[in-house]
Amino acid sequence: MTDTYTVEPDVGFINEVSRLGGGDLKKCFQCATCSVVCPISPDTKPFPRKEMIAASWGLKDRLVGNGDVWLCHNCGDCTTYCPRGAKPGDVLAAVRSYAISEYAPLKTLGKWVNEPAKLPLLLAIPVVLLARFISVGLLLTVLSRFREFSPRLFSIMTWGGLRGGISIALALSLPRGPERDIIIAITYGVVVFSILVQGLTVEKVVQRFFSR
């Protein structure tokens, strides 16, 4: 007796993959040209043709948890040779973007990765943390000549460095211009991240480092 498999399409997933750049996925008519030209397609699995089926049927679980989609290096050969213009390379890139936002510990940050306008803010957060780590490190290195500090203090003082009114006031004091608006937007983002994420997790960080 043959096994039966009930297909449960996730229309929301199809729409989201389309929005993220895979809008031509429904044009695929399963000719398998992409699997022939793809340099990483194994003989036993028609990659990325089977991913195109899963995407056009909205089988989210078969794609976002599928490690194969991360093997694609987006060379674009499949997209070039696809006779239907279904752009399988773009569909796989869209699935990867979807997976990032799906698995990101903070969903909002995961979504920002897919929005070019949010990238400056996304980069600003680690840059600010790194700057804080370096400044704390320099200070504690100098002070360590006079007394001993636990190495854990570096991490806690870096994560516990919350930003607020002074940062915003400095940004608002800049002369008017397009750069000022960008800097203000990034500053607000960093401050909100600092208060909501760092502020609400600093207790856990302290417990983690000092409970050892």
**List of residues contacting ligand SF4 (CB under 6 A):** 28-34, 37-38, 40, 48-49, 52, 72-78, 82, 84, 86, 88-89, 92
Closest-CA residue to 102 (of 53, 54, 65, 74): 65
CA atoms in the 13 A half-sphere facing the CB of 83: 7
Q: Nearer Cβ to ligand SF4, position 86 or 121? A: 86
Shortest distance, position 24 Cβ to ligand SF4, whole Å? 9
Q: Nearer Cβ to ligand SF4, position 22 or 160? A: 22
Shortest distance, position 9 Cβ to ligand SF4, whole Å? 18
Q: Nearer Cβ to ligand SF4, position 74 or 201? A: 74
Q: State the DSSP code for 114.
A: T
Closest-CA residue to 8 (of 52, 67, 49, 60): 60
Number of C-beta neighbours around residue 89 at 10 A: 23
Q: Which two tokens stand for residue 119?
A: 């990238």
Shortest distance, position 99 Cβ to ligand SF4, whole Å? 15
Shortest distance, position 82 Cβ to ligand SF4, whole Å? 3
Identify whether the C-beta of residue 205 lies closer than 8 Å to the C-beta of residue 155: yes
For 71-86, b/e burial (b = at least 16 CB within 10 A) is: ebeeeebbbeebebeb
Q: Nearer Cβ to ligand SF4, position 93 or 125? A: 93
Q: Which two tokens stand for residue 182?
A: 């960008």
Q: Nearer Cβ to ligand SF4, position 84 or 118? A: 84
Single-letter amino acid, residue 200: L
Q: Nearer Cβ to ligand SF4, position 34 or 190? A: 34
Identify whether the C-beta of residue 85 lies closer than 8 Å to the C-beta of residue 72: no
Shortest distance, position 97 Cβ to ligand SF4, whole Å? 14
Burial of 151 (0-12, 13-18, 19+ CB in 10 A): exposed
Shortest distance, position 94 Cβ to ligand SF4, whole Å? 12
